[in-house]
Homo-oligomer: A and B are copies of this chain.
Amino acid sequence: MEAARPLDALNSARGKRVIVELKNQRQYTGTLVSFDIHINTVLTDAEERVDGEMKRKLGTVFIRGDTITIISTQ
């Protein structure tokens, strides 16, 4: 996930496990399927975590970009 522009970095993380963190403190871990310039993001095999604790399995989840703080590779 390293490249000359931030979105290139996300691009190289496609198909890999990532952690997406939201402004409301929730975390979603899953395989990065897609994202767009608004950072709208789709994960598969996703799990929701609150304070690091697994809360529920979500399958596929669409995350609205403006709620995201960070995306990191696991």
Binding site for B on A (CB under 8 A): 1-10, 22-26, 28, 33-36, 39-42, 44, 46, 58-73
Number of copies of this protein chain within its complex = 7
| Also in contact, A34 and B61, with CB within 8 A (given A28-B70, A69-B24, A70-B28) | no
Determine the chain B residues whose CB is within 8 A of the CB of A1 once the complex forms: 42, 59-60, 62
- Smallest beta-carbon distance A41→chain B, Å: 6
The answer to whether B9 touches A60, judged by C-beta atoms less than 8 angstroms apart, is: yes
Closest B residue to A25 by CB, please name it.
Answer: B24
* Nearest B-chain residue to A22, judged by Cβ: B69
Across the interface, name the chain B residue whose C-beta is closest to A6: B40
How many angstroms from the CA of A26 to the CA of B69 in the assembled complex? 10
